[in-house]
Amino acid sequence: MRTRAPVVVVTGSTRGIGHGLARSFLDRGCRVVVSGRGPRTVKEAAAVLDAPADRLLGRAADVTDRGQVQDLWDAALDTFGGVDVWINNAGAATVRRPLWELPDGDLEAVVATNLVGTAHGSAVALNGFLAQGHGRLWNMEGLGSDGRVLPGLGAYGTTKRAVTYLTHALAADLRERAVTAPHDVRALRLSPGMVVTDLLLHDYGPAEYAKVRKVLNILADRVETVAPWLTDRILADRTRNGGRVAWLTRRRAAARFATAGFRTRDVLPSAPPRPPAPPGPAGSAAPERGTGHGGEAEL
């Protein structure tokens, strides 16, 4: 990292874990760019963060459009003179259904945001980082990244598995480039675990939610708990190229289950935020696009 205040770009940061990361970076003196698909939500998110203009920039960008992602980089460069950290956090999820029951529009939106959007962000950020000689790219992992499978989440999990492979491939390309053209650029992975956001809770009905709430209360954490921890690890800059920072490790999860009978955790709301869409393709809920991640178990 540079001696000046780091500049951090977080896609999908109008709410959820992305917004929490933006706030944590601001709290630590960084200059931050918040971004989402719509100008209105970006403006509202920036107003909530309430930081001076020389430390906070809000910029709308659809990560599925390479040109808009490039404009996001250029805006950060013009405003702050460079970028030190780029976090590809924008994400989408569908309702929990088998792949063959998802409307093609829902499937395409998840693949476009989670995989194509991450690839666009990676390409733009790495081009910029290599030009300036330094930078850290962080790609957000999620359920499916380690190859584990849960019914009804085939589309989402597939994109997350692909994001992990993509990040490994980018790290390998950076290592190969460094042989002939030394640089200080890394491609890295960020895993927040299970965070209490709309993305985690958006597809449970009351009866199903009551069944899973006990387990979720053991494993899940609030944004304000996870985001500062992740921020500190990112700014510590100790993760090697291709490496990973993870909040909910298997060891931590096992410890929580082992002490669940003696320690009560209550981090989830008493009811889901909204009922699920009716069954069948016609009633499928539109994917949560560009809002960031949070429902990302790695168990």
Q: Is 213 helix (H, G, I), strand (E, B) or coil?
A: helix
Catalytic residue check, 209: no
> Would you say the C-alpha torsion 144, 121, 132, 23 has a positive or negative sign?
negative
Q: How far apart are CA 289 and CA 202, in angstroms?
A: 13
Q: How far apart are CA 78 and CA 152, in angstroms?
A: 43
Q: Is 256 helix (H, G, I), strand (E, B) or coil?
A: helix
- State the catalytic residue, choosing from 156, 165, 204, 209: 156
Cβ(286)–Cβ(109) below 8 Å: yes
- For residue 91, give the nearest of 48, 47, 144 by alpha carbon: 144
Cβ(9)–Cβ(285) below 8 Å: no
Largest CA distance in the chain: 59
User: Angle of helix 154-180 relative to helix 117-132, nearest 10 degrees?
Assistant: 20
Whole-Å CA distances, 237 to 1, 55, 70, 77, 230: 7, 21, 25, 21, 11
**CB count in 10 Å sphere of residue 127:** 11
Query: Strand (E) positions, the chain?
Result: 7-10, 31-36, 56-60, 85-88, 134-140, 184-191, 244-246
Side-chain-facing half-sphere of 30: CA atoms under 13 Å: 30
> Would you say the C-alpha torsion 31, 36, 39, 42 has a positive or negative sign?
negative
Q: How far apart are CA 279 and CA 44, in angstroms?
A: 33
Active site residues: 156
